[in-house]
A and B are shown apart, each in its own frame.
Chain A
Amino acid sequence: MASKPGELRAPAWCHGASRKDAYKRGIASAPSVPVIVVLVTFVGFGALAQGAGLTMAQAVFVSVTVFALPGQVVLVDQIAQGAALLSTAFAVTLTSVRLLPLTISLMPYLRDGITPKWVEFAFAHVLAITVWIEGMRRLPPLPDGLRAPYYGGFVSALFLGIMCATTLGFLLSGQVPKEIGAGLIFLTPLYFFLSLIGVSKNSIDLLAVAIGAVLGPILYLTAPSLDLFLTGLIGGTVAYGLGKWRESGS
């Protein structure tokens, strides 16, 4: 059963809350499991950048301007391999296509007629998988006018956090035992998976998860770099089509 947005119960703090309250609430709710997992991955990026020969300031510059880990890893990897600017930009751009469907599906929740256009672009600047998952989980139950400021607070805190995490990773590079390093990398797929299951509303959502899970490794081996985008496009479309087919009762 698909639930209508109106059926979701707003959290208690929303009652009589101003936009400023929602912004503060967003900041306060940032220290959480998903944010810790993201910060851990950015610590890993800082270490990687150090190994590739970037300065600490350059590593932080990449984190704040790109704000999407797979693209950053590709960028730094290309630098380490001495690749040319154009081929590096091309590889990065392919890994970033996946940000398009994420942005399209979250932005409508952040548009309230009060938030200026340029802020929408700033909101999109930091939109990646974790922010998308947390947005889909946290925003729909909130009243219209509070979603944007809540999101603003959440991502402001995250933004500050990834700058610190990148710096920390740069400084810690090579200090973490490889067993623990492996465990930290492992947190990301586990968090992604559990959150996807958590935000699933119906069997069609779960079907999209299942098809995507099967296609992901196959397309990675057959069409690297555009693999994620194609996985999403094929998996999502098939799940959508099957949902329509079932709805039509045939």
Chain B
Amino acid sequence: MSMFVQGNWAYLWLFLAGFCATQPWRYLGVVLSVNLNTDSEVLVWVRLVSTALVAGLVTRMLLLPAGALASVPLDVRLGAFLSGCCLYFLTRKSLAAGVFSGGGVLILAQYFLAS
């Protein structure tokens, strides 16, 4: 049975488990960054931490995907990813070209490679 409460109490539940569990980290970030300016040394480090974090999420989503993407074979995922990267550089770093061509290749490959 679900512990999820019904009616208006559900909003309090969502507020406590959602808002109160998420936003303090952001607000803490506002407070901690008060004395930093854009060329401070600490910021160089924090920016590298953020960069590595996002890169980790990329490979995790690609190699260990969830949801509908999990049913697509690994080689198709990697192939579509590489074609997106290639098109990005061939079009002199056009995000639209890179992102949508990769997505397009992944969708088409599923229809054409399915046997």
Contacts and interface: CB of A to CB of B under 8 A. Distances in A.
Interface of B is mostly: helix
A92 to B, nearest CB: 4
Nearest to B65: A185
Most buried by A among B3, B47, B81: B47
Contacts, number: 306
B57 A228 contact: yes
Contact of A93 (B21, B32, B111): B21
A189 interface: yes
Nearest to A137: B95
Contact of A92 (B22, B71, B81, B93): B22
Given A179-B110, A183-B103, A237 B71 contact: no
Interface of A is mostly: helix
Interface residues of A, number: 102
A208 B55 contact: yes
B57 A129 contact: yes
Contact of A216 (B15, B17, B32, B55): B55
Interface residues of B, number: 78
A212 B30 contact: no
A102 to B, nearest CB: 5
Contact of B53 (A4, A109, A231): A231
Nearest to B53: A232
B59 A214 contact: yes
Contacts of A243: 44, 48
Contacts of B102: 186-187, 190
A194 to B, nearest CB: 5
A61 B110 contact: no
Interface string A121-157: 1001101010011001000100000000000000000
A109 B58 contact: no
B56 A107 contact: no
B106 to A, nearest CB: 5
A125 B18 contact: no
